[in-house]
């Protein structure tokens, strides 16, 4: 025995039962089941308790009852192997000895079964050779997977290529065990396209080749379709390589789907569903899931390094988008040397961040911890056709989340354009790695350079550290921010002019420690100005203390509704509220 057993828990039992059932359904060469015999041969070496897999795999075989598939000889061979290795479990058989014993049992049981029915003439030497070859392959595959799952450090001796090949054969076989061609091919398509996206072209082509061989072993005539899909993977990979971000995955999926739909029109709806799922599934989650699986099944392939490199690539794409946005703004006619100076300062700090990431520190720790985003809700009310307020919440950097509210000068579309420019530019710069000081000075210079001096907007920016709970609140002409804790409400304010008025910004911020259960409430000046007889916004404090809900969307909507009500028939300003639940 080449590896030791492990303690069985409920999750492992349920997973093993599911795998065993579908393994019993892996049918090749028109009526042979070598995978079932191979699995019991390998699992009996892990622990004799796995003898219970025999009836489970038998149940999988019996699902072929009435379809004309004769599985009783392999059922006998599986039972014989299970009983044999159960009684002789103290013998330390090598994997080659177990393989020989399983092959002998399979051949002997076939001869006995067909001989008892006087149908020895139905036995095909060619089929028996094929089944024996498949048995040898599946025993090697299951032996490798068992080492990975049960041997602990012993798995370090297995090469990454062998692991990857075994996992691919296993995954393709389990999908093929479904038995419904309209489902199997789309699932194969989804699987090896995902492999192509996460691991590269070569592993995907290997997986697709395995699917082709498995399909041939099941007697399918889809070999030409798989060959065309091979070509689609290559073409899609190179086309997608010319793009960045989400478009790369979309182009790859569309190319593969197009070829699959032409080759197998009867599976077009399943293929469309598979590729739509791949395209819609967030790229970062797809990569995280894949790397988590590698961390469990292929530890020596350094999945943490994959996560780190993925994070760096994603950060670089964000920086590229920010620089392109800046270039687009400059091409609109802005001519200000300060803007260019700020841009170079920001780029220098971005490069510092990249060097720090590549040296091995921050990205890997942040990406592997995966601090969840702070729940944020917002509500707004426009008293004209469009609102002059803009707001945005996003995660960036290392464990940071930003909330921004900007109120453009005046009302209507022009105010909206100004506030939107501020919000989007700040978001792009912060995501690209610019610090707040340089980002705010850049926005201020852009607003001053883009008008005759009458273009400005307020900025209310809160940056929350999701790990420590500390928040830095920057205010440029913005209204007060409120913090609710256990029914008590406090206000945070700091006077400063809006951006776009003065040449040069003196940036200061309020530092506050947010505790679990608190609500951070940011509002535009339309909310604080709704009752001119109450400049301290006592009505808002009271309303917040009365609200029992902690749902950010609900709290934001209740505040906006109350502010709109207090305006009465007076001329009203746009209202925007953002609420973060810590």
Residue 265 CB-density burial (10 A; 0-12 exposed, 13-18 middle, 19+ buried): exposed
Lowest mean pLDDT among 122-126, 336-340, 433-437: 336-340
- Least confidently predicted of 33-37, 168-172, 344-348, 505-509: 344-348
173 pLDDT tier (thresholds 50, 70, 90): very high
Q: Which of 39-43, 194-198, 260-264, 540-544 has the lowest mean pLDDT?
A: 260-264
Q: Each residue of 457-489: b (16+ CB within 10 Å) or e?
A: bbbbbbbbbbeeeebbbbbbbbbbbbbbeeeeb
Instruction: Give mean pLDDT, residues 195-210.
Output: 83
pLDDT of 112 above 50? yes
Average pLDDT of the chain?
79
Percent of the chain whose pLDDT exceeds 70 = 79
Q: Which residue would you say has higher pLDDT here, 309 or 484?
A: 484
pLDDT confidence of residue 348 = 58
Q: Token pair for residue 289?
A: 């899931």
Homologous superfamily (CATH) of 376-581 is: PPM-type phosphatase domain (3.60.40.10)
What are the helix (H) ranges across 264-401?
268-280, 283-297, 303-330, 337-358, 362-369
- For residue 4, the model assigns a pLDDT of 39
| Residue of 528 and 357 predicted with greater confidence | 528
Which range (9-23, 229-243, 485-499) has the least confidence? 229-243
Q: Which residue has the tokens 């049918």?
A: 27
> Which residues touch 260 (CB under 8 Å, ≥6 apart)?
185, 189, 225, 228, 229, 232, 267, 268, 271
Q: Which residue, 236, 188, 419, 432, is CA-closest to 316?
A: 432
Neighbouring residues of 81: CB distance < 8 A, sequence distance ≥ 6: 37, 40, 41, 44, 101, 102, 105
Ranking 310-319, 365-374, 394-403 by mean pLDDT, the lowest is 365-374
pLDDT in the model for residue 222:
63
> What pLDDT shows up at residue 429?
79
Amino acid 138: pLDDT: 95
Check residue 320 and give its pLDDT.
63
Q: What is the pLDDT of residues 32-60, one digit of tens each?
A: 999 999 999 998 888 888 888 899 999 99
Terminal alpha carbon distance of the chain: 53
Domain ranges (residues) in the chain: 1-158, 166-301, 376-581
Exposure string of 506-525, with b = 16+ CB inside 10 Å and e = fewer, is ebebeebebeeebbbbbbbb
Identify the band that residue 132 occupies on the pLDDT scale cut at 50, 70 and 90: very high
How much is the average pLDDT of 293-309?
59
Where does 1-158 sit in CATH, by number?
Answer: 1.10.1760
pLDDT at 384 over 80: no
Hunting for tokens 């207090």 — which residue is that? 566
Give the rounded percent of residues in the chain with a pLDDT score beyond 90. Answer: 16
CA distances from 356 to 85, 351, 353, 417, 427 (A): 55, 9, 5, 36, 22
557 φ, ψ to 5°?
A: -65, -40
- Rounded Cα distance, 229 and 212, in Å: 10
């Amino acid at each position: 025995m080449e590896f030791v057993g492990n303690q069985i828990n409920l999750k492992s039992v349920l997973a093993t039962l599911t795998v065993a059932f579908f393994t019993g359904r892996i049918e090749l060469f028109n009526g042979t089941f070598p995978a079932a015999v191979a699995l019991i041969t390998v699992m009996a070496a892990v622990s004799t308790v796995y003898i219970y897999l025999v009836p489970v795999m038998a149940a999988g075989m019996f699902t072929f009852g009435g379809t004309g598939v004769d599985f009783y000889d392999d059922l006998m061979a599986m039972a014989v192997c299970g009983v044999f290795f159960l009684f002789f479990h103290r013998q330390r058989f090598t994997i080659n000895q177990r393989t020989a014993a399983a092959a002998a049992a399979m051949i002997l049981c076939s001869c006995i079964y067909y001989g008892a029915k006087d149908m020895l003439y139905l036995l095909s030497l060619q089929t028996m050779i094929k089944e024996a070859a498949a048995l040898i392959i599946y025993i090697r595959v299951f032996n490798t997977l068992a080492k990975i799952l049960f041997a602990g450090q012993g798995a370090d001796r297995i090469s990454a290529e062998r692991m990857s090949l075994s996992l691919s054969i296993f995954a393709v076989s389990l999908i093929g065990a479904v038995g419904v061609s309209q489902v199997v091919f789309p699932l194969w398509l989804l699987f090896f396209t995902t492999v192509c996206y996460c691991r590269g072209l070569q592993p995907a082509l290997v997986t697709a080749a395995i699917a082709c061989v498995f399909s041939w072993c099941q007697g399918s005539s889809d070999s030409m379709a798989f060959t065309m899909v091979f070509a689609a993977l290559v073409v899609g990979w190179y086309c997608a390589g010319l793009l960045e971000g989400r478009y790369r995955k979309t182009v790859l999926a569309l190319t593969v789907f197009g070829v699959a739909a032409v080759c197998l029109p009867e599976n077009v709806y399943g293929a469309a569903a598979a590729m739509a799922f791949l395209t819609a599934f967030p790229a970062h989650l797809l990569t995280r899931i894949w790397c988590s699986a590698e961390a469990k099944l292929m530890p020596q392939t350094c999945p943490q390094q994959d996560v780190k490199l993925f994070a760096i690539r994603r950060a670089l794409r964000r920086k590229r988008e920010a620089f392109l946005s800046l270039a687009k703004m400059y091409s609109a006619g802005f001519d200000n040397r300060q803007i260019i100076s700020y841009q170079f300062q920001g780029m220098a700090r971005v490069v510092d961040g990249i060097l720090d990431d590549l040296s091995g520190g921050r990205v890997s720790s942040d990406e592997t911890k995966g601090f969840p985003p702070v729940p944020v809700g917002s509500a707004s009310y426009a008293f004209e056709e469009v609102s002059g307020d803009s707001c945005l919440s996003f995660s960036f950097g290392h464990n940071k989340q930003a909330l921004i509210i900007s109120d453009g000068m005046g009302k209507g579309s022009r105010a909206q354009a100004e506030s939107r420019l501020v919000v989007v530019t700040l978001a792009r710069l912060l995501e690209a790695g610019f610090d707040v000081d340089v980002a705010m000075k850049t926005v201020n210079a852009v607003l001053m350079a883009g008008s005759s001096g009458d273009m400005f907007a307020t900025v209310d920016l809160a940056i929350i550290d999701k790990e420590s709970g500390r928040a830095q609140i920057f205010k440029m002409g913005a209204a007060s921010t409120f913090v609710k804790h256990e029914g008590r409400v406090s206000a945070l304010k700091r006077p400063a002019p809006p951006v776009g008025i003065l040449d040069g910004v003196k940036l200061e911020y309020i530092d506050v420690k947010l505790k679990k259960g608190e609500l951070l409430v940011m509002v535009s000046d339309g909310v604080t100005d709704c009752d001119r007889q109450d400049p301290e916004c006592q009505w808002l404090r009271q309303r917040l203390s009365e609200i029992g809900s902690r749902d950010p969307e609900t709290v934001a909507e209740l505040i906006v509704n109350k502010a709109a009500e207090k305006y009465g028939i007076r001329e009203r300003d746009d209202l925007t509220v953002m609420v973060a639940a810590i």
